[in-house]
Copies of this chain bind each other. A is one copy, B any other.
Amino acid sequence: MKPRIAMVLGDPAGIGPELVARLLAEPQARSAAEVLLIADREEFERGCGVAKVRIPEGEIELREWRGAYGAFTRAEATANGGRYSLDTLDAALEATSKGTTDAVVFGPLNKAALHRAGMRHADELHWFAERLGHRGPVCEFNVLDGLWTSRVTSHVALKEVAGLITQERVIEAIALIDRALRASGVAQPRIAVCGLNPHLGDGGAFGREELDIIGPAVERARQLGHPAAGPFSADTIFIKARDGAFDAVVTMYHDQGQIALKLMGFHRGVTVQGGLPIPITTPAHGTAFDIAGRGAADVGAMRRAFELACRMAKAG
């Protein structure tokens, strides 16, 4: 049976509509899944026009979404665009929660627009968790060419990071990414865990977190059945991971993983909203206001987000 994917355009001011149009114009994408597109028809058709594509009649299901948004502004973060983004996402979550669809794929959102529309959460991941009534741990995963990364801490000041690294949090991050990888079809994920300090603290000379917290957490995670290894020095593990030695890298802080991932090919990356009861994916890049509406946006990450959602829908 084909996976059924609920899709939304993301922020209409950005490159989301043209990317969704370009993706759904690919016969391979349409044959890989049954697509339920929840979108304002005009916005989608506008996206098709920008991408210079036509979707054959009846090949996807379009659930028209119209609200009292007024005209959408282009290439700008507005409450209007944010409200439309959240409303369509809400409909996609509902369709997937009740089993009409198996997974959600969304076009790039604009955080400022979401906040202007009244979202109180720091990011969409926590908004998703609340809308889905999910109280367990959540974590954003970044996926690039089959390599998954997650982080124990995220949007916190660097000076707060060390104090937030606990055995519990490290084990939780390992368990979350292990489950997500299995849900995406990797039977026995190979998970590398980063250290915190340069050269792993060089045996305690500059930092003891590897010895006192991260090492024991990796050991405990293994006892719990999660195939984790490490800690590894952050400045060399991504070379090995890129070369295929691991399926995932668990990082301790935001830039530890993001510096590496963005260098390795940001435009190809996918973000997975991890820990939630349903698979949700999106391209890792943003709304790209600077090129929106020009038809120049690369569909690669959107295609990968879609393919990954299909795999997770099937395996789950």
Residues from 187 to 214 in A contacting B, C-beta threshold 8 Å: 196-199, 201-202, 205-209
Among A3-11, A44-52, A129-137, A261-269, the stretch that binds chain B is A261-269
Residues from 157 to 173 in A contacting B, C-beta threshold 8 Å: 157-163
Shortest distance from the beta carbon of A181 to any chain B beta carbon, whole Å:
22
In the complex with contacts A157-B197, A159-B162, A263-B264, A235-B258 CB distance below 8 A: yes
**B198 to A254, Cβ gap below 8 A?**
yes
- With most chain B CB atoms within 10 A of its CB, the pick from A199, A206, A255 is A255
Shortest distance from the beta carbon of A193 to any chain B beta carbon, whole Å:
15
**A158 to B235, Cβ gap below 8 A?**
no
A238 within 8 Å of B (CB atoms): yes
CB-contact partner of A259 in B159, B199, B202, B238, under 8 A? B238
Shortest distance from the beta carbon of A64 to any chain B beta carbon, whole Å:
36
A260 within 8 Å of B (CB atoms): yes
How far is B156's CA from A207's CA once the two chains are assembled, in angstroms? 7
**B157 to A158, Cβ gap below 8 A?**
no
**A207 to B259, Cβ gap below 8 A?**
no
Residue of B nearest to A208 (CB): B157
Shortest distance from the beta carbon of A83 to any chain B beta carbon, whole Å:
22
Number of A residues near B (Cβ < 8 Å) is 39
A155 within 8 Å of B (CB atoms): yes
How far is B254's CA from A160's CA once the two chains are assembled, in angstroms? 17
CB-contact partner of A198 in B163, B258, B261, under 8 A? B258
**B263 to A154, Cβ gap below 8 A?**
no
How far is B261's CA from A207's CA once the two chains are assembled, in angstroms? 22
Contacts of A262 in B (CB 8 A): 235-236, 238-239
Contacts of A254 in B (CB 8 A): 198-199, 235
In the complex, per-residue mask of A221-241: 1 if CB is within 8 Å of any chain B CB, else 0: 000000000000011101100
**B161 to A206, Cβ gap below 8 A?**
no
**A158 to B162, Cβ gap below 8 A?**
yes
**A207 to B158, Cβ gap below 8 A?**
yes
Contacts of A253 in B (CB 8 A): 158, 198
A256 within 8 Å of B (CB atoms): yes
CB-contact partner of A263 in B158, B201, B242, B258, under 8 A? B242
| The 6 nearest A-B residue pairs measured at CB | A157-B207, A159-B162, A198-B254, A235-B258, A157-B206, A259-B259
Known: A158-B209, A159-B162. 12 other contacts (CB 8 A): A155-B206, A156-B207, A157-B201, A157-B208, A159-B207, A198-B253, A198-B255, A198-B258, A234-B255, A235-B261, A235-B262, A239-B262
**Would you list 20 pairs from A and B whose C-beta atoms are within 8 A, ordered by A residue?**
A154-B198, A155-B199, A155-B202, A155-B205, A158-B162, A158-B198, A158-B207, A158-B209, A158-B253, A159-B163, A198-B258, A199-B254, A234-B259, A235-B261, A238-B263, A242-B263, A259-B260, A260-B260, A263-B263, A263-B264
